[in-house]
Amino acid sequence: MWLYLATPVGLYYLLHWYRERQVVSNLQDKHVFITGCDSGFGNLLARQLDRRGMRVLAACLTEKGAAELRNKTSDRLKTVILDVTKTESVVAATQWVKECIGNRGLWGLVNNAGISIPSGLNEWMNKEDFAKILDVNLLGMIDVTLNMMPLVRKARGRVVNVSSVLGRLSLFGGGYCISKYGVEAFSDSLRRELSYFGVKVAIIEPSFFQTAISRSDRHLSHSRILWDRSSSEAKEIYDEKFLLSYLTGLKLLDKMCNTDLSLVTNCMEHALTSRHPRTRYSVGWDAKLFYIPVSYLPTFLADRILFWTSTKPEKAL
């Protein structure tokens, strides 16, 4: 009896394994445009794809970041300076990409650029704090995608958007989680629209990884600035004792961050090179075993779990 049950299950996983390893042809002729290549995931992915022989078009925010990346890669890789919050910069980068690829179209667009500061408690912030993150992580990504889309459609290529487990489960206030929820929504609608043209859209959902935007020292200093700037009423509720407890929680979270960025870039590479890319790539065991499962729980239960694992002001207890 167990043999009858095991056989179809085994065949399913064998077929899944086989599909996962089917690679598109002529990778050396395909161009991939990546945003946010100064450091972190974007930088590693650019070097990874370059070693594989693909033609990488890397967008950096600074000339220093671009120069350092060129020094570590082959002559195939080209760089451009891009600020995703400025439409004129996006338009100029799009024109540059057109000149680089000629009539071949753009095989891959990886929307990786992002920031995470300011983030903290909602009551510590103002509208501009939310807008700063949304301009980069969501509106900037949309602007780049809309400009590059005709080039990707021409190649019947791929769009890879970097979201987060925090696009499934909001753990703290500010614009970061909001922006990642927006990335999820935009990616879903884009995937359905572009499926008619043979374009595939994938979402990368990393858990907590050690990158430039997740450095605890930056978050600690910005949290202190936000608290100092908040209203007297907010400071009375979230007093100095609460602030210290909150900062301690940030330090603990930093220690939990995964340092192996290749776990994420390998998923990005698979989304770009596989004949059968996945719709979503949840990266990190904490994502698979905690954050994603909790996001599927009934809301009241998920809220209760997160409430008891978070820092709370004593006056509210």
Catalytic one among 18, 176, 238, 291?
176
Q: How confident is the model at residue 172 (pLDDT cuts 50, 70, 90)?
A: confident
Q: How confident is the model at residue 210 (pLDDT cuts 50, 70, 90)?
A: confident
Which pLDDT tens digit goes with each residue over 120-150?
A: 888 888 999 999 999 999 999 999 999 999 9
Which pLDDT tens digit goes with each residue over 220-245?
A: 677 777 777 777 777 777 777 777 77
The verdict on whether 281 is a catalytic residue reads no
Rg (CA), the chain: 21
Residue 172's Cβ-count burial label (10 Å; 0-12, 13-18, 19+) is middle
Assess contact for 84 and 90: CB atoms under 8 A.
yes
Q: Identify the CATH number of the domain defined by range 17-214+258-293.
A: 3.40.50.720
Cα-based distances in Å from 256 to 81, 215, 285: 33, 12, 11
- Where do the domains of the chain lie? 17-214+258-293
User: Given the DSSP bridges, would you call strands 173-174 and 119-120 parallel, antiparallel or unpaired?
Assistant: antiparallel
Three-state SS string over the chain comes to: CHHHHHHHHHHHHHHHHHHHCCECCCHHHCEEEECCCCCHHHHHHHHHHHHCCCEEEEEECCHHHHHHHHHCCCCCCEEEECCCCCHHHHHHHHHHHHHHHCCCCCCEEEECCCCCCCEECHHHCCHHHHHHHHHHHHHHHHHHHHHHHHHHHHHCCEEEEECCHHHCCCCCEEHHHHHHHHHHHHHHHHHHHHHHHCCEEEEEEECCECCHHHCHHHHHHHHHHHHHHCCHHHHHHCCHHHHHHHHHHHHHHHHHCECCCHHHHHHHHHHHHECCCCCEEEECHHHHHHHHHHHCCCHHHHHHHHHHCCCCCHHHC
pLDDT value of position 84: 97
Cα-based distances in Å from 16 to 22, 189, 202: 10, 26, 18
Q: Is the pLDDT of residue 315 over 60?
A: no
Q: How confident is the model at residue 311 (pLDDT cuts 50, 70, 90)?
A: low
* Closest alpha carbon to 58 in 202, 45, 157, 126: 45
Q: Which two tokens mark 153?
A: 């459609």
Which pLDDT tens digit goes with each residue over 13-32?
A: 677 677 777 888 889 999 99
Average pLDDT, the chain: 88
pLDDT value of position 24: 87
pLDDT value of position 16: 64
pLDDT value of position 283: 95
pLDDT value of position 133: 96
Assess contact for 254 and 216: CB atoms under 8 A.
yes
pLDDT value of position 313: 60
Residue 296's Cβ-count burial label (10 Å; 0-12, 13-18, 19+) is exposed
Which pLDDT tens digit goes with each residue over 71-105?
A: 999 999 999 999 999 999 999 999 999 999 998 99
Q: Which residues of 2-41 are buried (b: 16+ CB within 10 A; e: fewer)?
A: eeeeeeeeeeeeeeeeeeeeeeeeebeebbbbbbbbbbbb
Q: Is the pLDDT of residue 312 over 70?
A: no
User: Given the DSSP bridges, would you call strands 108-111 and 158-162 parallel, antiparallel or unpaired?
Assistant: parallel
pLDDT value of position 6: 62
